[in-house]
Structure 1
Amino acid sequence: MNFRLFTGTAVAALGLSLSLASANTLRMADSTDIAAMDPHSMTESNTIGFLNHVYEGLVRYNENLEVEPALAESWEFVEPTRVRFKLREGVTFHNGNPFTADDVVASLERASHDTSPVKSNLPGLERAEKVDDLTVDLVLKGPDPIVLNYLTNIYILDKEWMEEHDALLPADMRRGKENYAVANSNGTGPFVLESRQPDARTVLTVNEGWWDEPRHNLTRIEFSPIGSDATRIAALLSGELDFITPAPLQDIERINRASGVSVIETPSLRTIMLGLNYADTLHNSNLTDDNPLKKQKVREALQLAINMELIRDKIMRGRSRNAGLLVAPQVPGFDEALDTRPAADADAARALLEEAGYPDGFEVGLDCPNDRYVNDEEICQAITAMWARIGVDAQLTARTKSKHFEKVLAGGGDIYMVGWATLPMLDSYSVLSALLHTPGDRMGAWNPGGYSNPEIDALTTKIATELDEEKRTQMMKDALKIARDDVAIIPLHQQPLAWAVRDGVNLSVTADNKPRLWYATID
């Protein structure tokens, strides 16, 4: 069934089928479906977040986004490049098999296999070694201060189950090669997969034998993908759903005015920004042998011309958080003293352009998605109008996210919108290594514009291996300050994050946009 084509009749049918749910059933809907049940076959954040109810890692982020023990109860660096994990005793998989070091080694080998996109979340892993049944060593290629952050996204599967079902390697979804783990699961998590109907419904039931002390009182989770915002909201308002995500920005006030439901909100980790082309020439410009973006005064002018207060108040309905840095406040390396942006000033921006040698402005391409971020196309339309006031003619191209990122990552954009949440690192090193470091040698993977600053590169290299937390944090602050002062990338805001629940459903929204339903209760 395609929920994007839901009609009122279909909603009523959904309500009839769900009306039999017990008081401890959480009926939830998202705008997209889970990609697969195989946790090593994709890096799509909504899927990874949902699967954390079935599968677990050695460690996890808690509701405060702090790393805490999960399948490993403790760890220590026995050498700078060797981390020893003591595994939790008495844990069993959903099929009753005991959890041991063999499962950890097999799962880490599986996650780091060439066909697994999750391997990018294990960049420093050399190998995993079994010490005994409840002890595993992770041998690293070099000192890695955030190895635990990476491991929050690496889930552990049962080796015997994988061998039994010929699933020791992850499904290669990019080539259309599936395996048993795509539609089936066997984790250690708080919920067990009962049934899976792609594009229709996925049902989880409570794991009565979960090793942790449950704070939730759920017995069942029924998940439905409903692409239509209107249909998703209608199902919530009529009582057919208990929890929906996302709650569209334009409908928040209407939901809050309705009886029996409310919206829970927070600024997300995701910072929306404008990347810039630093090549010798632009792709879409009247200047055929020049690139004004390489001049700092031009970049300062472009930033000065953007009225983020107006965008926040009018387009984001007062719910975004204007950003002066490229990371959100929850991310290590954020410095509140540096998180300032100049007040919009078109006159000062025009003066800067004249000083830079462009008194008449110039043409430039502006690429934005129209289906990836909150009100992404509307933001770019507003920026286009603001830049026009200072003589910069931004030729806006807004397209679906797949085509947008295909063009941008190929280096085909002049100025382009991108959002960055720093996950799973939850660390400023994510921005420094991916967006700001000079491209090359696995660095700068999201720096298609070719920005290069030797000071940032040097600091990023040191940050990658510095184990002294205080020194490392200061270096990240220093690097982000250099990027801010240089206007290497233009930060816009942290976009709002909103979920909607019916009264009696108690859960907290977290900035990483991952529901942790093992904390949820229903009155």
Structure 2
Amino acid sequence: MKTLTRTVALVMILLFVLTAAACAEGWNGTITIVQSSDVIGFDPTASTDTNNKNVLKNMVSRLYETDDYFNPVPVLAQSYTQVDDYTWEFKIAQGVQFHDGSILKVEDVIYSLERAKEKSSSGKTLLGPVEKFEKIDDETLRITTSTVYGSLLTALSNSACTILSQAWIEKAEAGECDWDEVIKNGATGRYILGNRDIGNQCVLLKNDNYFDPDDAAQNDKLIFRIIPEATTRTIMVQTGEADVNVNFDTAAMADCLIDPNVEVLEHESSTIYYIALNCEKGPFTNKQLRQAVAWAINRSDCLEVGYNGYGKVWSNVWAPTVYGAKDDPYTYDMEKAAALVTASGYAGQEIKACVKTDAEERIAQVVQAYLGMVGINMSYTRIDNTILTEVMSNNEYDMAFDYTAFYNDPELFVGRQFQASGIGAKNYAHYTNSTVDELMEKAKATLNEEERAEIYHQINTILCDDCPWIGMFNSNLYALARTGIIGVNINVETTYWYNTIRYEK
């Protein structure tokens, strides 16, 4: 048996090496990526969907990006000086070309950031403490804040803070062009928008004039194929029709781990799968009914069917990586759930939920069964990922199954997920709480990290008790790539940089 096992292992290694060599030898510089949903639009102030951001972020630049663990890394801002607690000065990279050949100016940076603060729900929160953006000279931007804001650099790395050409934005807002044209001409990123076939694919071409040649694209073309069906995405990578699957369904994990043609890539994450409950309209305006849902669900079963057990049960509304998320407050307790349903006065009316992915649909089936055991009548509908924000903004559903990644610092996400500024965007629950608002303001003005962490814990405790979201589990991140592919950079935010992807020679 040992000899047979060793022989099989040697054969697998040989197949792996031969497959990798064959792929590298025939590579033409193109990388084909399959993802589950299409681009919604290219306006960075309106883009919240992960797959949308996966495409957009590779064509644009910001003052800062984040590394694998949300640490800010300078891009268009080559350096900064903190003049005092409220004043920051940034040196902007010189000679940076937009895709139309025009040169980036400090005025473009200011216009983009002011627009993000005005129009984006994320920008309103992340740039809320900013009092003023001003030009000091042709290479210096000054940002003045109203409070101490230690998270400013990370805030500037958010996708809403993308820097674009003022001239091209103004054309779009005047109706003279669409946002495809803005990104094709008025961005500065590593890739330029080629052609886009809505619902089918989007093609990006290497930007040969990218301002940092040491960090330029190491491939010539990216083709994003839109493949909603999870099994099809996996098969396309296994057969070589695609190179990378960024929405890998772990249902295929066992098969892929023994396939010499592919490699499963793994990264820890700050992502949780959760259910948003509409606190503004319908049966979940009742807090006891929301709490009943939190107690009624066996999360181990949800993790198993949704992610094949690859992760950990987690009932908190924040990821375990977040400051202040100390507790896992809910377990599976059918008796508590049933008692809360009775106390809520719920009369058995239909509760409508929406799902977007295969994994969410499997989770919804489990949740539906457990809620039925305590008398909650839930149905679900599958919708396209691109309309989730719209349908939840319009109160069309009582529940939304979703997943999201978290910054480590609550200052960077609480506003858009659990405060009024996020309604119409990521606050799918339409949740507000004046005590949370007051504590967030207190945290922003607190310099001591231990004291801030304690305030965040108070906020987290309130949110877990109010149950606008029901945490399900914390998942690892997985992507599937052809054997021989290197440079697939998975970020804890669940978005990807594609400029380093290539076949190893």
TM-score, reference length from structure 2 = 0.78
Counterparts in 2 of 1:474 and 1:242: CA distance versus 1, 3 Å: same
Q: Contact 1:217/1:521 (CA < 8 Å) preserved in 2?
A: no
> Aligned partners of 1:483, 1:113: CA distance in 2, in Å?
27
Which of these residues, 377, 393, 413, is aligned with residue 361 of structure 2? 377
Whether 2:373 is the aligned partner of 1:366: answer no
2:447 is aligned with 1:460: no
- Specify whether residues 29 and 322 from structure 1 end up closer, same or farther in structure 2 by C-alpha distance, changes over 3 A only: same
The corresponding residue for 1:305 is: 296
Partners of 1:311 and 1:380 lie apart in 2 by 8
Deviations 1:100-129 (A, max 9, x none): 423323433454565x77754644444421
Q: Over aligned residues, Cα RMSD in angstroms?
A: 3.8
User: What corresponds to 2:14 in structure 1?
Assistant: none
Q: Is the aligned partner of 1:155 residue 2:162?
A: yes
- The 3 A distance-change label for structure 1 pair 244 and 81 is same
SS in 2 for 1:46: helix
Q: Given that residues 205 and 220 in structure 1 are in contact (C-alpha distance below 8 angstroms), is that contact kept between their aligned partners in structure 2?
A: yes
Alpha-carbon distance between aligned partners in 2 of 1:305 and 1:204, rounded to the nearest angstrom:
49
Question: Cα deviation per residue 1:167-202 (whole Å; 9 max; x = unaligned)?
Answer: 2426359x896167346235443x242722333441
Tell me if the contact between 1:37 and 1:184 (Cα under 8 Å) persists in the aligned partners.
no
Is residue 329 from structure 1 mapped to residue 325 from structure 2 by the alignment? no
Aligned residues: 473
For residue 46 of structure 1, what is the amino acid of its counterpart?
N
Aligned twin of 2:196: 197
Q: Tell me the CA shift for residue 491 of structure 1.
A: 1.6
Q: By how many angstroms is 1:85 displaced?
A: 1.0
| Cα gap change, 1:241 to 1:351, in 2 (>3 Å) | closer
CA deviation after TM superposition for structure 1 residue 205, in Å: 1.8
Higher helix share: 2
2: CA distance, partners of 1:103 / 1:452: 35
Pick from 137, 142, 152: which aligns with 2:142?
Answer: 137
Amino acid at match of 1:346: M
CA-CA distance at 1:308 after TM superposition: 0.6
Structure 1 counterpart of 2:378: 395
Say which is worse superposed, 54-63 or 481-490, in terms of deviation: 481-490
C-alpha separation in 1, matches of 2:99 and 2:429: 47
CA distance in 2 between partners of 1:267 and 1:465 (Å): 31
Deviations 1:142-181 (A, max 9, x none): 544433233212222355xx3xxxx2426359x8961673
**Deviation of the 1:131 alpha carbon:** 0.6
Tell whether 2:333 aligns with 1:345. yes
**Contact 2:353–2:378, Cα closer than 8 Å, also in 1:** no
- CA deviation after TM superposition for structure 1 residue 60, in Å: 0.7
Contact 2:315–2:472 (8 Å) recurs in 1: yes
Structure 1 residue 35: Cα displacement? 4.4
What CA deviation, in whole Å up to 9, does each residue of 1:226-262 have, x standing for no partner?
A: 3253543333222232212212333333333322212
Change (3 A) 1:322 1:277: same
Q: Distance in 2 between matches of 1:102 and 1:488?
A: 40
Deviation by residue 1:279-301 (Cα, 9 ceiling, x = unmatched)? 6xx846xxxxxx89333xx5544
CA shift at 1:435, angstroms?
A: 4.2
Aligned residue number for residue 18 of structure 2: none
> Are the aligned partners of 1:38 and 1:181 in contact in 2 as well (CA < 8 Å)?
no
Q: Secondary structure at the match of 1:169?
A: helix
Specify the alignment match of 2:265 in structure 1: 264
**Quick check: 2:68–2:492 contact (8 Å CA) kept in 1?**
no
Distance 1:93 1:177 in 2: 17
Amino acid at match of 2:478: A
Paired amino acid for 2:60: Y
- Point out which structure has higher relative CO (alpha carbons under 8 A, 6+ apart): 2
- For 1:68-83, list aligned pairs within 5 A: 68-83=73-88
Paired position in structure 1 for 2:10: none
How much has 1:61 moved relative to structure 2? 0.8
Q: Which amino acid aligns with 2:368?
A: T
Note if 1:245 corresponds to 2:246. yes
> Aligned letter for 2:164?
L
C-alpha contact 1:267 1:320 (8 A) present in aligned 2: no
Q: Distance in 2 between matches of 1:430 and 1:365?
A: 35
Which residue matches 2:221?
Answer: 221
Contact in 1 for aligned 2:355/2:401 (Cα 8 Å): no
Q: Quick one: distance in 2 between partners of 1:117 and 1:472? A: 23
Distance across 2 between alignment mates of 1:72 and 1:518 = 20
Counterpart residue identity of residue 429, structure 1 = E
Deviation, structure 1 residue 521: 4.5
- Any idea what the Cα deviations from partners look like across 1:379-420, whole Å, max 9, x if unmatched? 222222212223x23232424256765554344655554544
Counterpart Cα distance in 2 of 1:413 and 1:217: 42
Contact 1:37 1:181 in 2 (8 A): no
Q: Which runs of 5+ in 2 are unaligned?
A: 1-22
Following the alignment from structure 1 to structure 2, what is the Cα–Cα distance between the partners of residues 383 and 415? 11
Q: Which amino acid aligns with 2:409?
A: D
Quote the offset at 1:343 in angstroms: 3.5
Aligned mates of 2:130, 2:316 — CA distance in 1 = 30
Q: TM-score, normalised by structure 1?
A: 0.76
Preserved CA contact (<8 Å) 1:28 1:224: yes
